[in-house]
Structure 1
Amino acid sequence: MAEYTLTVAPNGARRGRDDHPELPVTQDQIVATAVACKAAGAHGIHLHVRDAAGAHSLDAERYRDAMAAVADAAPGMAIQITTESAGLFNVAEQLDCLKALRPASASVALREMAREPDMAAQAYALCAEAGTQVQHILYGPSCVELLRRWYVDGTVPNAMRDVIFVLGQYVPEVLAQPQDLQLFLAATDDLNLNWTVCAFGRHEQACLLAAISAGGDVRIGFENNIETPSGDLLPDNAASVAALITAATAAGHTLKES
């Protein structure tokens, strides 16, 4: 059976409290969620911050405050920021966020960086120099092929081998299915990647169990799914974390020690 790490993505860029009353938007809500999810077994948090109106933000000061608050309240919990544009930010703004924060860990979508290839190279070089652990967001075969090309031409340093496979999508809605993973595994078989899976929609847990069985790590949370398989609302992020760990343990898998 497999060992795995588990990251929680509690809010994302698009959903709000109208979508689920337990989705964290404010810093206090995010911190409380981080504490609860760490207690439930999550190794790390994929961190999005919001502006005063609750909209997705890449503001460095908001990130600094949130990162410090999570680190204080949930010591030892890994913190990964996002550079996701969500249709709001250009590559220059994403690069500015990385420059200002020089974070320990960040997720970066190749297809967003590809809007400005020269700036993309700057972003990856900055992360290499700063020691930022970059997790490449891969949405499908075209992203895999872009990553392959960028390894060859040096845009992405060869050492940056962490990726997340995104199963399904938010808009237009495509519910992830466990079999979706095989496309990614086949396309990346020769790349020697450290891979994680997240999955949109109510089949999230089944998809993540398939990923664990295949030797991957997983990311769970309200960024990707707020529903049970039958379509009811999940209680909260910590309950999702705990339920996945229970199901994985029942299948013989082991959560890695933090």
Structure 2
Amino acid sequence: MLAAAPNGGRHTAQDHPALPLTPASLARTAAECLDAGANLLHVHVRDAQGRHTLDAATYREAFAAIRSEVGERLVLQATTEALGRYSAAEQLAAVRGLRPEAVSLAVAELFGRDVPDADVAAFLRELQLDQVLVQYIVYSAAEEQRLVALAQRGLIPGPFWTLYVLGRYGQARPSTPADLLPFAPFSAGRAAAPWAACAFGQGELRCLVAAAAFGGHVQIGFENNLLTPEGEPATSNAEQVRRLRNALTPLNIMPMSADELRRAWLTPPDRTAPR
């Protein structure tokens, strides 16, 4: 998986003039990122005031515009990120209203909040029955361990993919490849679900090349980083995708097609295979 995350919920046009915030600009960005090598678009949408929103109608408008440009050649992933605006109940209702092809869910934002764990588990089983491609976001090894424990208790069904977030907004230093080390693929004796990584700051590219070299999938774009590896303002999301694809080519790592990614996501991982 080579995912493009072109906008996020925090940045504005003042942060970068090429940040796509409207359905039309998201559609153009999707086509450009597809041409550059992406197979998934991680989409945030904004309301009329430019604020992060989980409104299903707003998502449908954006997804329709994107599909008109790229058809089914990209997997479209919605987010449930709260950004301090949404309760767990509102996040679940937003996904039920949208029923996206793919969705990212933050473990810390769903469990142990205002919805009983059993109700969250029922919601996740609904997504499994609908074959929604579910990716769980974790920010630390402790959150990943909690995800595994929830799965072992039967509260999280499989198959699912995990996204490791390296760094934070406002972090004083760029993310580095060493930030991968606490997570399961790098800890002896700990199995990992299929995983991807994203990273903050100008160290993004180095982190993602390292992740791919160790068998992970990757997500890049203006959501987490607006800079080139040299610290200059990046030109576009597509240029960031192209840089990453070009960096992976000498390692003989090539992005799947969107259809290959869909099939891989819905295939349970082989837990007997050597790691």
TM-score of Structure 1 vs Structure 2, range by shorter chain: over 0.9
1:60 equivalent among 56, 60, 65:
56
Pairing 1:161–2:160 present: yes
Q: How does 1:12-23 map to 2 (within 5 A)?
A: 12-23=8-19
- Partner secondary structure for residue 135 of structure 2: strand
Matched-pair contact (CA < 8 Å) for 2:3–2:39: yes
Q: How does 1:1-258 map to 2 (within 5 A)?
A: 5-75=1-71, 76-114=73-111, 115=113, 116-118=115-117, 119-157=119-157, 159-184=158-183, 185-187=185-187, 190-258=190-258
Superposition CA RMSD, Å: 1.6
Matched-pair contact (CA < 8 Å) for 1:99–1:126: no
2: CA distance between counterparts of 1:60 and 1:188?
42
1: CA distance between counterparts of 2:100 and 2:188?
27
- Partner secondary structure for residue 14 of structure 1: coil
Q: Any runs of at least 4 consecutive aligned residues in structure 1 with deviations exceeding 6 A, and if so which?
A: none
Report how many residues are paired: 253
How far is 1:252 from its partner? 3.6
The two structures have a TM-score, normalised by structure 1, of: 0.93
2: CA distance between counterparts of 1:188 and 1:7?
28
- Partner secondary structure for residue 182 of structure 2: helix
How far is 1:256 from its partner? 2.7
5+ residue gaps, structure 2: 259-275
- Structure 1 pair 131–252 and aligned structure 2 pair: CA distance change class (3 A): closer
Matched-pair contact (CA < 8 Å) for 2:107–2:136: yes
The two structures have a TM-score, normalised by structure 2, of: 0.87
Q: Deviations over 1:6-51 (max 9, x none)?
A: 0100000100111011011111111111111111111110011110
1: CA distance between counterparts of 2:241 and 2:93?
32
Identity of paired residues, percent?
Answer: 38
- Partner secondary structure for residue 254 of structure 1: coil
Matched-pair contact (CA < 8 Å) for 1:110–1:138: yes
How far is 1:254 from its partner? 2.5
Matched-pair contact (CA < 8 Å) for 1:34–1:70: yes
- Partner secondary structure for residue 190 of structure 1: coil
- Structure 1 pair 171–49 and aligned structure 2 pair: CA distance change class (3 A): same
5+ residue gaps, structure 1: none
